[in-house]
Amino acid sequence: MPMDPSSAMLSQALLLLQCIILTLGQYDICKSLVSTDDGPTWEYYACQPKPMSMKEYMKIRVEPPDITCGNPPERFCTLENPYLCSDECDASTKELAHPPELMQDRERTGLITYWQTVTWSRFPEPLLANISLSWNKSLELTDDIQITFEYGRPTIIVLDKSLNYGRTWQPYQYYADDCMDAFGMLPKRVQDLSATNVTRVICTEQYSRWVGSKNEKNVRFEVRDRFAIFAGTKLQNMDNLYTRMESMKGLRDFFTFTNLRLRLLRPALGGTYVQRDNLLKYFYAISNIEIPARCKCNLHAGHCSLRDGNLQCDCEHNTTGQDCSACERGFKAKSWKPGSYLPTPNGSPNICTNSAPGEASGTSGKCNCNQLGSLHARCNDTGFCQCREGTTGQKCEDCLPGYNWKQGCVPNVCDDELLLCQNGGSCIQNQKCACPPEFRGVLCEQPRCQGERGCDGASACYLSALTLLLCLLVNSLLKANA
């Protein structure tokens, strides 16, 4: 039986609210003060910095050095106006100069500013240009890279990346109007990729065909479409993506880089062969390079800041280094580990500690049994901490499988391995499944509407206490409107 319109609306509103709650602000705090029976204590979480517009921080280098137009001054025309070659590039005049920094400026005045190369006047020698972008910092893409070309998108490009500050490079994506002809590769689209081959390096023809220079200016490296394979088309289930980031080898590294390089191999041709009688209309021009990414801090920092001209993680959890990839001095009792996205939504901080096994810091007897995980504050005569149910480890600081830390180890109601939420439900803090409106039960295993009854508006209030509150709010608003 179909739901009545108001209850359908309510369900939609709730789903939307749930989305907002689940996707906003995930992993953005590293610690918080919580009150326990023994007074306030810090709880630590896996954390990562917010995405930033990395074009603000990138160093650009173009090769060969004399590829930028204007020295000496030269004339050019466009593919759409090939016989009006009166435009001029002149490096010595501000209004007519097109230096590389115009690929990363903010264009506050509303005027489009762009880097431009010399024209292809030396045909048949190929017109080649490299643009290298460096940050001296490991970064992780959070959205599509977007490169904006004025006067037409090139017919052949390779995007490369480096993970080691430019020492070695690997191709990231190939772009051509004819992939087979340019690279001997079959053309693919990111939309054709699936969970098993999401990290495949492909050649795409989507951004190189001539459609007019003003109709479509952008060339993308699609990050969103790749995320969507796991998180859904609206990225509504980021938990699933983060879970895969932990379990699927190479997935995180695929989105990680320290440098990018754009190899421009053939300019826009206007949809036809090269016309040798007018080579002044062939060149490259880029007005903007957008790189949405976050600093890679190994889930040990919530912020990343510019220090001495370089981006650096503001490390927490007693870690240190540009990427928080080491334990601070004095905190090397356990070997360093990156934080983990699991269990969602707070992850595991894997903090560096200063207490080595058996090495009691501080005064008389204080063998550092974890207050929440152990039965007694002190260890017994032989130096053992006695752990509560579900708890393990030298100090009773870890949980047995099937348990998760929440001011002590509590048994899981749901998880990503055995106790899977069913019918599209998502597991919240291992403690409850948030079910879609049509299902209920601990693991969302029961259809809500069986037969004719039980499908009234009120039944849509199915979520946690928080969403219940919001639900009541929405309900009263709906009533007020009616």
Please report, as ranges, the residues that interact with ligand NAG according to CB under 6 A: 44, 63-64, 128-130, 136, 188, 192-194, 196-197, 200, 202, 263, 310, 312, 316-318, 322, 351, 380-382, 384, 386
| Minimum distance, C-beta of residue 401 to ligand NAG, in the bound complex (Å) | 20
Stretch that binds Ca ion, among 85-93, 102-110, 168-176, 238-246 (CB under 5 A): 102-110
Name the residue nearer to ligand NAG (CB basis): 74 or 316.
Answer: 316
Minimum CB separation of residue 200 from ligand NAG in Å reads 5
Assess contact for 415 and 226: CB atoms under 8 A.
no
Beta-carbon neighbour count of residue 11 at 10 Å? 20
Q: Which stretch binds Ca ion (CB under 5 A): 17-25, 98-106, 156-164, 434-442?
A: 98-106
350 backbone φψ class: left, alpha, beta (φ>0; ψ -120 to 50): left
In the complex with ligand NAG, the residue whose CB is nearer, 287 or 312, is: 312
Per CB under 5 A, the list member of 6, 23, 53, 113 interacting with Ca ion is 113
- In the bound state with ligand NAG, the residue whose beta carbon lies nearer, of 374 and 412, is 374
Upstream peptide bond of 72 is cis (omega within 30 degrees of 0): yes
Least distance (Å) from Ca ion to the CB of residue 403? Answer: 54
Identify residue 66 by its one-letter amino acid code. Answer: D
Measured torsion, CA atoms of residues 234, 238, 241, 246, in degrees rounded to the nearest 10: 170
Binding residues for Ca ion, total number by CB under 5 A: 4
Residue (264 or 387) nearer to Ca ion, CB: 264
391, 376 in Cβ contact below 8 A? no
The DSSP 8-state label assigned to residue 174 in this structure reads E
Residue 88 CB, shortest distance to ligand NAG, in Å, is 24
Q: Residue 192 corresponds to which tokens in the numbers above?
A: 């054709």
Closest distance to Ca ion from the beta carbon of 107 (Å): 5
In whole angstroms, the minimum distance from the beta carbon of 130 to ligand NAG comes to 4
- Neighbour tally for 401: CB within 10 Å: 11
* Six-digit token string for 151: 């006067």
Which residue's C-beta sits nearest to ligand NAG?
384
Minimum Å distance from CB 385 to ligand NAG? 8
If one asks whether residue 53 binds Ca ion (CB under 5 A), the answer comes out as no
- Given ligand NAG, Ca ion, none, residue 355, with its beta carbon under 5 to 8 Å by kind, binds none
Rounded to whole angstroms, how far apart are CA atoms 274 and 268?
Answer: 10
The DSSP output letter for 144 is -
DSSP for 62-78, written as a single string: EESGGGBS-SS-EEE--
Please give the Cα distance from 149 to 131 (Å, whole number): 13
Closer to ligand NAG by Cβ: residue 316 or 416? 316
CB 40, min distance to Ca ion, A: 50
Burial (CB count within 10 angstroms: exposed 0-12, middle 13-18, buried 19+), residue 335: exposed
* Interaction partner, residue 287 (ligand NAG, Ca ion, none; CB < 5-8 Å by kind): Ca ion
The distance between the two most distant Cα atoms of the chain, rounded to a whole number of Å, is 94
The answer to whether the CB of 208 falls within 8 A of the CB of 183 is: no
- The smaller minimum CB distance to ligand NAG, of residues 129 and 147, is found at 129
Residue 317 binding result from ligand NAG, Ca ion, none, given CB thresholds of 5 to 8 Å by partner type: ligand NAG
Residue ranges that bind Ca ion, judged by CB under 5 A:
102, 105, 113, 287
